[in-house]
Homo-oligomer: A and B are copies of this chain.
């Protein structure tokens, strides 16, 4: 789109956790005016009524949830965020695009390039396969230039972001064997959405830690797609999610075989230097990637409510492996913050606008 100082935006499905976080960030964004928020459940109520935590914001009593009417929304906003369950998002994306809106979808609907893989992982035919080629995978650190010209942005999943950001530079630079990747991930409960299922009741989660969806969680499909693109070959990797009792936060621990075996201390130091250089090249100027080069390791409490991914790594001279760890806030860099970062790129705003 043409550069401008400010745009109008709308959020469809603003009552889930991602939608709420979009509202939190957009309502104070210096270049965006939140023109509409929709929710079937809360239509007619003000932001202040539905989310008391925002009630002291100047706009909280004036901003009112509406029914999601595509024609109206396309007139109210240039950019429309979809914070809807997968499958439902397409129903809005298609007509919104037809009406000329720019769409940033936080669901999984447009993240995959292949309708076959979509069907394999989501167990039904893709409802609008013709849009898959058009959509851009909205990870600015990897696809910034494509985002600039996009009309449909598929904002990445929370787990994929926590894995792709640390892994892709190493793969692109040929430092690791991409097929060796094992990603062990831990997520807070908001990652499950505001879903009424027994598994997510307080008493069932508190004092509980558990793996789930092993070995084929849906997010694996987009992780493999992006890793394969970076590797230049089709990859199948390991991804194991676990649920832990925090509201927000993902930690991913990646296990990788270096491309070049190291055995002496000198070889290890050399490889380490190459990793330092690789990450500096990739992320030295990225405002939202924090590579920890000292003794510190990632911790979700250092990234919560921010759009930052923390990354650290260790080489293990005994096993010859590289361990890379990342932490991010699943609702910010893993969802809403990243979607706004994409909007900033798309609209020519400063990339950190509204996010620091």
A residues lining the B interface (CB < 8 Å): 17, 28, 52-53, 55-58, 182, 184, 186, 188-190, 194-198, 200-212, 214-216, 236-238, 240, 242, 244-249, 251, 253, 255, 287-288, 290, 292, 296-308, 310, 314-316, 318-319, 321, 323, 325, 327, 356
A206–B244 alpha-carbon span in the complex (Å): 11
- The chain B residue with its CB closest to the CB of A315 is B215
Judge whether B211 and A253 touch: CB under 8 Å.
yes
Please pick, from B184, B194, B202, B248, the residue contacting A205 in the complex, using a CB distance under 8 A.
Answer: B202
Please pick, from B182, B186, B205, B210, the residue contacting A209 in the complex, using a CB distance under 8 A.
Answer: B186
Closest CB in chain B relative to A240 CB, distance in Å: 6
A288–B56 alpha-carbon span in the complex (Å): 7
Judge whether B17 and A203 touch: CB under 8 Å.
yes
Judge whether A298 and B210 touch: CB under 8 Å.
yes
- The chain B residue with its CB closest to the CB of A307 is B56
- Interface of chain A, helix or strand or loop or mixed? loop
A78–B212 alpha-carbon span in the complex (Å): 42
Judge whether A210 and B242 touch: CB under 8 Å.
no
Q: Which residues of B contact A52 (CB under 8 A)?
A: 290, 292, 296, 299, 302, 310
For this complex, 26 residue pairs linking A to B, each with C-beta atoms less than 8 Å apart, are A28-B356, A52-B299, A53-B301, A53-B304, A55-B308, A182-B255, A184-B184, A186-B209, A189-B206, A194-B203, A196-B201, A200-B201, A201-B201, A204-B301, A208-B300, A208-B301, A209-B249, A210-B298, A211-B253, A215-B315, A215-B319, A215-B321, A238-B319, A242-B253, A244-B245, A245-B246
